[in-house]
Amino acid sequence: MLKKFNFLLVILASFIMASGAYAQDYSKYNDKALHKILEDIATVERKVLMPMRDGVGLSSDIYRPKKTDKDVPAIFVRTPYNMNELGGSSLQMAVEAVSRGYAYVLQNERGRYFSEGKFEILGHPRTDGYDALDWISAQSWSNHKVGTYGCSSTAEWQLALAAMNHPAHAAMIPQSAGAGIGRVGEFWEHGNWYTGGVQRILFFVWLYGVDNPLRAQIPEGLSAEVRQHISQYNDLDTQKPDVDWQEHIKHLPIQDLLTSLGEPEGTFEELVKRTPASKGWFEGGLYHDNEPWGVPALWFNSWYDVSKGPNLALFNHIRKNGIDKETRDNQYAIIAPIPHCRYTTMGPNTVVGERELGDTSFDVSGEIFAWFDKWLKGDKKAFDPKTPHVRYYTMGENEWQSSDQWPPENAGNVKMYLSGGGNANSLYGDGTLTMTAPNKEGSDSYNYDPMIPVKTIGGSDCCNGGLVDPGPRDQRTIEARQDVLVYTSEPLEKPMEISGFIDTVLHVSSDAKDTDFAVKLVDVTPDGTAYILDDTIMRARYREGYDKQVMMKEGEVYKIDLTAMSTSIVFQKGHRIRVEITSSNFPKFARNLNTGGNNYDEKEGVIAHNTIHHSDQYQSYIILPVVK
C-alpha cells in the first residue's frame, strides 16, 4: 500500500510540475520517491571537477531542469560533509529547486571526499568560492546569477565570499552562520571558538570528525566516468572510532585532547594555542567587520543557537556599512526559538528542550524561494518590499513579532541590580535582583574549583558530540550548588517583554591571577521551574581588551563588562527574573585552571576564591532591553 501511495505521489508531482505549478510540501515523499522525481525533472552531472585558480579540482554535483529552453539561475551549496548520496532535507531542496526552474549545484570543499587539495576550515571562500561563481555563471545554461544557500557549515563560508562582491553573487541565505564570523563589534568569537575569550568546546569535538590528515583519497587525473563509478561503491567517508566525549572531554592538558586518541596533529593543535588577538584568525576564511559587504542577504538565526549574538551584530553592521544602498536596504533577519539549524521542525505544538513554545509555524521554503525569485529571476513582486527587516519569535508570549530594526524600536534599557545580604550562594540563599541600586556595602563569595566545574544544562549550543542538549532546560540542579550565586526578582506584577541585547556588568575580585565569570539569564515560573534563556562568560585577563592580557591582583576590585546575551521573552505575570553567576559552564566552555598560565598546556588547576561586589561604589547589574 505504501509503495502504491508513493507511486501516486510521484505521478501527481510530475503532473503538477508539467502544468507549471510547484509541489509545496516535499516532506510527504520518502527519499526513494524524491529520487524518482529528480530523475524525471533534472539533468544530472556528478563528480564534475570544477577547476580552481591553482589547478585543484573541487568535486561538484549539478542538477538542472530538463525541460527548458531558457538560461537558468543557480543555487550554490558548498559543504565539508558527505554529499555523495542525497537524502532528507538536502534531497528535498534539490527537487524543489529544480522544479522551480533553478540549477542546484552541490560542491565539496577542497580536501573533502572527492575534492582535491588540502582541507582548511571554511574552504577558502575568497578564492575557491569566487572561482566557483566564475565557473557556474560562465556555463552555457546559466543566466549569470547565483544565489548561495545553506545552514551551519554550508552558510559560514558565504560571509567572506560576500566581502568579494562577485558580479554573479546576486543573493545569499545564510542560516546559523556564526562560525563564519571573526570579529564584529564587541564580539571577538572567531567562528564560535570563543565567548568572552573563553574557548568553546564544540569545535574540539567537531574537528575530531572533520579534520582528517589521513583521509581516504583517490588518484588525481581520473576521468569523470571513473570518478562517478567509484562513488557508486565507495563514498570515501572515513569512520573514526567512537569516543565517549562525556568522559574524554575532561582530559588535560587540553592541547592533547585529540592526539591522546591517536590522532595526528592537525588544525586543532594550531587553533587551541591562539588567543583572540592572534594573527591567524585574520588570515583564514572568517569574515571581519573591517571588510566590505556587497550582497543582499536573508538571515536565519535562532534563540538557542551557538552564535546568535555575533549574527545579529553582523546584521546590524551590514545594514549600516554595506557597500551601497541596495545592499544596506536588503538585509532581512528571521529569528526562531529553536536550536541550531532546526528550521524545518517549526510548526504547531513546538517543544524545545523542556519547554512548550506554542505554534512556531513559518513557511521557510516559501521564504527561501521568494527571496531567490526576486534576486535571481528578477521577479520584483516575489518578495514583498514591505516585509519587516526583522521577524522574531517571542517566547513566553509564544508569537511571531516584527520590527524594522534590532533591537525593536520601542525597546529601552532597564537596569536590574544584584543585591542581598551576603549569602547568595545557591537557590536557597538571599540574593535578590532589584530595580533599585544598592546603597550600602555588599558582596557574595564562592570557591571555584576547576576540577569540579559547574555542569552545562541546556542553553545555546550545538555540534558537540552529545555533550550538551540545547534548549530551555531547568537549572535548579545547578542552582543548588554553593559555588553558584543566584539573584532572583520578586514575582512580576505584570508581564515584561525583553527583546534585544542583554549586557552584564560585574565588579569582581579574586585571589587568583586569572579566572572566569559566567552569567545566565533565567525565567522562573510560578512553580519554580528555572528555564535558561541565554548565557555568557568572560575570562578576567581580557577585561581591558582581547588584544591585552592583564592579570588580577588579590584584594583589588575590577570591572568586568561581559559579552552581550540575546533573546526575546515575555516574563509573564507571577514569573521571576533570575541571574546566575559562577566561574564555569562545562563542557560548553573550557575550564579556566586559575593559574594565569596558558591553560591549554596545563594539567593542574588551583582553587579560586571569587567575589561579586554589589555596593554603592561597586555596582553589579544586568541591562535588559524592555519593550514598552
Looking up residue 444, the CATH number of its domain turns out to be: 2.60.120.260
289: amino acid identity, one letter: D
Is residue 578, in this structure, part of any structural domain at all?
A: yes
pTM of the model: 0.94
- The x, y and z cell numbers of residue 556, run together, are 583589588
Q: Give per-residue pLDDT as tens, 49-97.
A: 999 999 999 999 999 999 888 999 999 999 999 999 999 999 999 999 9
β-strands 621-627, 411-419: how paired? Answer: antiparallel
What is the pLDDT, as a whole number, of residue 44? 95
Is residue 371, in this structure, part of any structural domain at all?
A: no
Cell 543557480 found at: 74
What is the pLDDT, as a whole number, of residue 27? 75
CB burial of residue 473 (10 Å; 0-12, 13-18, 19+): buried
Question: What stretches in the chain show pLDDT beneath 50?
Answer: 1-23
Is residue 301, in this structure, part of any structural domain at all?
A: no
Q: Give per-residue pLDDT as tens, 195-240.
A: 999 999 999 999 999 987 777 888 888 888 888 899 988 888 888 8
3-state helix, strand, coil split of the chain in percent (to 5) is 25, 30, 45
Is residue 427, in this structure, part of any structural domain at all?
A: yes
Structural domain of 584:
411-627
What is the pLDDT, as a whole number, of residue 19? 35
CA distance 406 to 394: 13
Is residue 422, in this structure, part of any structural domain at all?
A: yes
What is the pLDDT, as a whole number, of residue 176? 96
What is the pLDDT, as a whole number, of residue 218? 86
What is the pLDDT, as a whole number, of residue 216? 80
Is residue 545, in this structure, part of any structural domain at all?
A: yes
Q: How many domains does the chain have?
A: 1
Is residue 591, in this structure, part of any structural domain at all?
A: yes
CB burial of residue 44 (10 Å; 0-12, 13-18, 19+): middle
SS3 string, 506-549, reads EEEEECCCCCEEEEEEEEECCCCCEEEEEEEEEEHHHCCCCCCC
What is the pLDDT, as a whole number, of residue 283? 94
Determine how many CB atoms are found less than 10 A away from the CB of residue 342.
19
Is residue 170, in this structure, part of any structural domain at all?
A: no
Axis crossing angle, helix 31-41 with helix 88-99, rounded to the nearest 10:
30
